[in-house]
Structure formats: C-alpha cells, structure tokens
C-alpha cells in the first residue's frame, strides 16, 4: 500500500512539473513579456531595465527555476489586468463556480444514474429508447449551442429565466442544466452498460430462481455491483467541472473562474493564467490520481 501511494505521489509530482513547464513555455511563446508592461513609445533603455527586472537577461532555465521557486511559495506576482494578487481573485470567484458545478453535478447524478438503471431494466421498451435518445443528444450537441438555444427559448422568447446571475436560485437553472447534461448522458450510458452486464450474470439468475423480489434483485444485488463504473466516472466529472465551466460561464456571464480565465487570455495576463491553470491541475490530480 505504501509503495502504491509513493508511486501515485511521484506521478502527481511529475505531472505538476510538466504542467509548470507548459505554463512557463506559454508565457515565452506568446512573445516578449516586456510588451505587456511597455507601450510602443518605450525607449531601448526602458526595455533593458524591464528585462533586468523580469530576469530576462538570464538563461531560460534560470528564468524557469526562479519562476518555479516563486510559484512553490504561492507567489505568482500581480495580475496585469486586475492589478491584484491572482489568488485573491480566485478566492472571490471560486464560490460562484463551485456552487454552479455542485448543482450541475447533483442533477447529473439524480438524472443520469436512475435513467441508466431504468433503461437497463426496461431493455427494448419505450423508456429504454427515450433514455438512450437523451444520452445521444447530450453527448452529440455542443454545450455552447445548447446554452445559446436555452437562452433564446427560455429567456428571450418565453421570459421565464434570467440570462445571467442575478442572485436568485432561478439564475442557476439554465447554466446548471446545460453544464450537467453531458455528464448526465455519460453517467446514463455507463450505468446502463454496467447494469446490463450485471443483470446477465449467473448470480442474478440464481437470485431470480430462488424467488427473490424483482426490486431486491435490481437494487440490492445488481445496482450495488454496477455502481463501480459510475462512481469512478463521477470523480472524473467533478474534476472536469472546474475546467468545463469556462464555456458556460462565458455564455451566461457567470462571475466565476471561467470568466476570470477568459479575461486573463484576452489581456495576456500571464500571472493570472498561471495561477488558474496550476490550480486546475492540482485539483484534477487530487481527484483522479490520489
């Protein structure tokens, strides 16, 4: 067991190191960092002074190691766009993203798994075809298109729901449904497949032959054994929600990490991008590897 955890920790550390190399490379591939701080009227002397200040006069590997050392103690510098500490902004925006992701995850679980069980138990029936159609649409349609259609129908045409967060619970309905549809479809399909495999097992046939009640066969024997795959997928879904909210938050003008990420990309805000990407990496590894 100890060796297993050591291997896991070593793998996670290696992945984080590779992520840090990728993030640092992006900062250099996007151009001279001095262009972010200086305008077109800057003199050569100003460029040289900023080069020394940013450490650009040193070899590239020294620049990376210096930056990595600062990152390891939580020093990402100052956001170039917001002029604030990146982690302060992340702490402000994180609750909005977490609350949206939590609601989307709950509805994905409450819809995807029961529909998957129903589809497997009622194989070949109308309920089965409906559930499979739901899963097919959920995995085939782009999430941004679903979000735009939801806004057009339920906000613009019918006026039932707000198009952005305004403080009420109704503002969560459309973004949570759009964000959770794809995970619900994935959970439905994997639950259905697991249930079909278990229901065809010999121990299920034996339980039925002994006269065990159908509900007990389904929920006590089959469902328990079929939960392994959906639970594994659920952990991956939780990790993916943080990064997956970027599109939804952009469409619905949601004040979360997605909007913060878009602002950082648009304004070439490297300190903010680095903080967000590394935070996503740590969170994803924590849920999927450790």
pLDDT tens, residue by residue, 74-116: 777 777 777 788 888 888 888 888 888 889 999 999 998 999 8
pLDDT band at 163 (very low <50, low <70, confident <90, very high): confident
Question: What long-range pairs does 239-242 form, CB within 8 A, spacing at least 24?
Answer: 239/283, 239/284, 239/286, 239/287, 239/288, 240/183, 240/284, 241/101, 241/104, 241/105, 241/179, 241/183, 242/97, 242/101, 242/280, 242/283, 242/284
Considering only CA atoms, which of 290, 235, 236 is closest in space to residue 13?
290
In whole angstroms, how far apart are CA 241 and each of 101, 113, 148? 6, 18, 19
Render pLDDT for 262-285 as a digit per residue (tens, 0 to 9): 888 887 778 888 888 888 888 777
CA dist 274 and 79 (Å) reads 10
**Domains, in order of start, for the chain:** 15-72 (no CATH), 86-288 (1.10.3720.10)
For the stretch 31-46, pLDDT in tens is 666 666 666 676 767 7
Q: How far apart, in whole angstroms, are the C-alpha atoms of residue 170 and residue 178?
A: 14
Average pLDDT of the chain to the nearest whole number: 81
Q: Is residue 128 a contact partner of residue 122, using CB atoms and an 8 Å limit?
A: yes
pLDDT at 203: 77
Q: Which residue in the block uniquely carries the two structure tokens 């990309």?
A: 265
- 7: exposed, middle or buried (Cβ count in 10 Å: 0-12, 13-18, 19+): exposed
Nearest in space to 199 (alpha carbons), one of 279, 119, 85, 259: 119
Alpha-carbon distance of 69 to 65, in angstroms, equals 6
SS3 182: helix
How far apart CA 86 and CA 74 sit, in angstroms, is: 10
- 100 with 245: CB under 8 angstroms? yes
Sign of the CA dihedral running 39, 42, 48, 49: negative
**What mean pLDDT is predicted for residues 249-270?**
82
pLDDT of residue 110: 92
Whether the Cβ atoms of residue 260 and residue 89 lie closer than 8 Å to each other: yes
Determine the average pLDDT of the residues in 239-257. 80
Picking from 36, 42, 71, 41, the residue whose alpha carbon sits closest to that of residue 54 is 36
4 Cβ neighbours under 8 A, 6+ residues apart: none
pTM to 2 decimal places: 0.79
Tell me the helices (H) and strands (E) count for the chain, helix number first: 14, 0
CA atoms within 13 A on the CB side of 189: 14
* Residues 16 and 281: beta-carbon distance below 8 Å: yes
């Amino acid at each position: 067991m100890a060796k297993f955890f050591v291997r896991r920790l070593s793998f996670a550390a290696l992945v984080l190191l590779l992520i840090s190399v990728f993030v640092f490379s992006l900062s250099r591939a996007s151009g001279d960092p001095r262009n972010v701080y200086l305008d077109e009227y800057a003199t050569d002397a100003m460029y040289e002074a900023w080069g020394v200040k940013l450490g650009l006069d040193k070899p590239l590997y020294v620049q990376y190691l210096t930056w990595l050392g600062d990152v390891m103690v939580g020093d990402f510098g100052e956001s170039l766009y917001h002029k604030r500490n990146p982690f302060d902004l992340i702490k402000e925006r994180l609750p909005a993203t977490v609350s949206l992701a939590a609601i989307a995850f709950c509805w994905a679980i409450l819809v995807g798994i029961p529909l998957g069980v129903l589809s497997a138990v009622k194989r070949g029936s109308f309920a089965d075809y409906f559930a499979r159609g739901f899963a097919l649409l959920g995995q085939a349609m782009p999430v941004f298109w679903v979000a735009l259609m939801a806004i057009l129908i339920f906000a613009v045409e019918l006026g039932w729901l707000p198009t952005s967060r305004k403080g009420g619970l109704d503002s969560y309905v459309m973004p949570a449904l759009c964000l959770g549809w794809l995970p619900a479809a994935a959970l439905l399909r994997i639950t259905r497949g697991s249930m079909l495999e278990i229901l065809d097992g010999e121990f299920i046939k034996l339980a039925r032959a002994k006269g065990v009640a159908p509900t007990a066969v389904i929920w006590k024997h089959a469902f328990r054994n079929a939960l392994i795959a959906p639970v594994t997928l659920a952990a991956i879904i939780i990790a993916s929600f943080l990064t997956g909210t970027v599109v939804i938050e952009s469409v619905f003008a949601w004040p979360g990490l997605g909007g913060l990420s878009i602002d950082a990309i648009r304004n070439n805000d490297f300190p903010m991008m680095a903080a967000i990407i590394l935070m996503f990496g740590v969170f994803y590894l924590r849920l999927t590897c450790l």
